[in-house]
Amino acid sequence: MANLNAQIALHKFGLGARTGEAELVGTQAQNWLQTQLTDLSSDLDSYDLPTSKEGIELFFAFLEAERAERQEDRATISAASSPKVRLISFFSEIDRIKRQQMLIEDDGVRGPSLAKAQNIYLDAKQSNASKPAEAKSSRELLEDIVGILYEDIGVRTTHAVLTPASFREALVRFWSDHFNVFANKSLLLTSCTGAMEREAIRPHITGKFSDMLIAVESHPAMLAYLDNWFSVGPDSWAGKQFGLGINENLAREILELHTLGVGGGYGQDDIIAFANAITGWSIGNPDIQPENLGEFIFESLIHQPGPQTFMGKVYLGTGQDQGIKILEFVANHANTARFIASKLARHFHSDTPPDSLIERLEKAFIDSDGDLLVVSSALVIAPEMWDGSFVKLRNSEEFAIAALRAFGFDELTPQQSVFVFNAVAQIPFSHHSPDGWPKTEASWASSSILSARINLAELLSGFVGGQPPPVNFAENILGETLSDHSANSIKGAGPDKVQGYTLFLMSPEFQRR
């Protein structure tokens, strides 16, 4: 039973076992998991990655370089210009910013074709490192921005493969998907989406949900992805000056996808009230608060004035505080507790988890006021998680990471990471819609996905050297969960180790967690 519990800890909670890891977990599976919830040493602090501010600064440098190359004129805004003069300049530029922030399709880097950007990335690594941003062409700055996303993917992949705290890393991926941002919607997002995970999600996965929620929704990546940095209160100074209005996207998705869930007790009037409350939540740019370039800003001249009535409660607060109070309210709402508990149970247990598990997690959330350390601990000790079942089909990223961990791969380059995930159609940060990657088996069990997994399994198996016979290797990684049927199939490959290891990776026991 000790071995089974170790396998549950490694595969059901974590990202898969590395060779010999089951012996390290031993009979203390729950303690091994609980330790990861409080030990922050496995986070990414040791990696030197650009901040969101640094990435967004490159984006605006790209816009200016492109303007200069096209010899386009722009009115000069002096440091002494008033905020209203700066807003006039900004809103006269909106159409251009929206147009130019989109990635250049001719470079093959937009959307799911990110993998095709490796030549751009490699060019940047070879030629751009020594130049200051102001001396670079728009093409060189584009290369740098694509490189930021590549580096983020490479680092998070290497970390997932090597970390001894894979449960903590699995939680990061759960919450990152919960707050999904599509990095290739725009060049601005390419510059800062990876940083959002590092800055707004990782620090809070065992903190208060309300703190994570506020950090995410006020992050420049989320403000750009769901268009809130262009949202203007119709009765604000800018709204009256330019005839502009609110954008409901961020408010709607916060309620529907991030907190209360569909049917969570809110209506269209509540969405509008919330959208009004978070007008003014924007991103520092060359026109508006340039001293905070690339950072979250609150701009009162575009904020909708006056009280807002949200779900029956009047919010009198002015400025940024009005939106924060609504976020705190929905973060601690009972419907949010149920929604988060259901998602956690479906992610870590199965597509159809027992009601008792959902209720257990819901109670932990409510009793602790959304303390995610308490909620995650409740998941660890829940008896439903230790019933010995492995029924959740791994998604493609989970499959690839589990395979890399099993085979003992070390550091992966950014382009290797993107290649691996592109091979199984799940490159990080590349899902278009804010609902995140598909959550159920039907989306990951198609013939095309399984064929792609077979191809990757064969490729990775060809790089394995010095490992024991495949069936012995499978027993080491999967322990007593390896069925006689799968063991016999692996043995049937005979001396062909590549085929044997491929059969191991494609066995039902490895495909599921």
Kindly state the helix (H) or strand (E) to which residue 470 belongs, with its residue range.
helix 470-478
Count Cα neighbours of 491 within 13 Å in the Cβ-side half-sphere.
9
Q: Which of 244, 223, 232, 190 is nearest to 430 (CA)?
A: 190
Mean pLDDT over 297-323 rounds to: 95
If DSSP codes are grouped into helix, strand and coil, which group holds residue 283? strand
Query: Are the beta carbons of 10 and 16 closer than 8 angstroms?
Result: yes
Q: How far apart are CA 263 and CA 254, in angstroms?
A: 13
Q: How far apart are CA 44 and CA 46, in angstroms?
A: 5
Q: Which of 235, 234, 278, 232 is nearest to 253 (CA)?
A: 278
Query: Are the beta carbons of 202 and 44 closer than 8 angstroms?
Result: yes
Query: Are the beta carbons of 373 and 429 closer than 8 angstroms?
Result: no
Give the model confidence (pLDDT) of 121-150 as tens digits: 555 555 566 678 888 999 999 999 999 999
Q: Which of 432, 414, 433, 425 is nearest to 146 (CA)?
A: 414
Q: Which of 41, 328, 321 is nearest to 164 (CA)?
A: 41
Q: What is the DSSP letter of 392?
A: P
> What is the chain's length?
513
Q: Which of 54, 66, 61, 48 is nearest to 133 (CA)?
A: 61
Q: How would residue 115 be classed by pLDDT, with cut points 50, 70 and 90?
A: very low
Does 510 have pLDDT greater than 70? yes
Query: Are the beta carbons of 255 and 330 closer than 8 angstroms?
Result: yes
Mean pLDDT over 482-507 rounds to: 97
pTM: 0.93
List Cβ neighbours of 71 (8 Å cut-off, separation of 6 or more).
Answer: none
Per-residue burial over 303-318, b if 16 or more Cβ lie within 10 Å, else e, is bbeeebebbeeebeee
- Radius of gyration of the chain from Cα atoms? 24
pLDDT of residue 99: 61
Q: Which two tokens stand for residue 304?
A: 């909708």
Q: How would residue 57 be classed by pLDDT, with cut points 50, 70 and 90?
A: very high
Q: Which two tokens stand for residue 165?
A: 């705290």
Residue 342 burial by CB count (10 A; 0-12/13-18/19+): exposed, middle or buried? Answer: middle
Residue 243 burial by CB count (10 A; 0-12/13-18/19+): exposed, middle or buried? Answer: exposed
Mean of the per-residue pLDDT values for the chain?
A: 91
- Of 29-33, 100-104, 427-431, which range is least confident? 100-104
- Between strands 308-310 and 313-315, the pairing is antiparallel
Strand partners, 297: 282
Does 80 have pLDDT greater than 60? no
Percentage of residues of the chain with pLDDT beyond 90: 80
Q: How far apart are CA 306 and CA 303, in angstroms?
A: 9
Give the model confidence (pLDDT) of 456-468 as tens digits: 999 999 998 778 9
Better-scored residue on pLDDT, 106 or 192:
192
Domain ranges across the chain: 396-511
Q: How far apart are CA 12 and CA 15, in angstroms?
A: 8
Q: Which two tokens stand for residue 21?
A: 């890891």
pLDDT of residue 112: 35
pLDDT of residue 125: 57
- Residue carrying structure tokens 């330019």: 242
If DSSP codes are grouped into helix, strand and coil, which group holds residue 307? coil
Mean pLDDT over 44-71 rounds to: 90
Residue 265 burial by CB count (10 A; 0-12/13-18/19+): exposed, middle or buried? Answer: middle
Does 119 have pLDDT greater than 90? no
Query: Are the beta carbons of 56 and 49 closer than 8 angstroms?
Result: no
Percentage of residues of the chain with pLDDT beyond 70: 90
Better-scored residue on pLDDT, 254 or 121:
254
Does 227 have pLDDT greater than 80? yes
Strand partners, 208: 371
Give the model confidence (pLDDT) of 424-471 as tens digits: 999 999 999 999 999 999 999 999 999 999 999 999 999 987 789 999
Query: Are the beta carbons of 49 and 435 closer than 8 angstroms?
Result: no
Kindly state the helix (H) or strand (E) to which residue 314 belongs, with its residue range.
strand 313-315
If DSSP codes are grouped into helix, strand and coil, which group holds residue 311? coil
Q: What is the DSSP letter of 309?
A: E
pLDDT of residue 118: 53
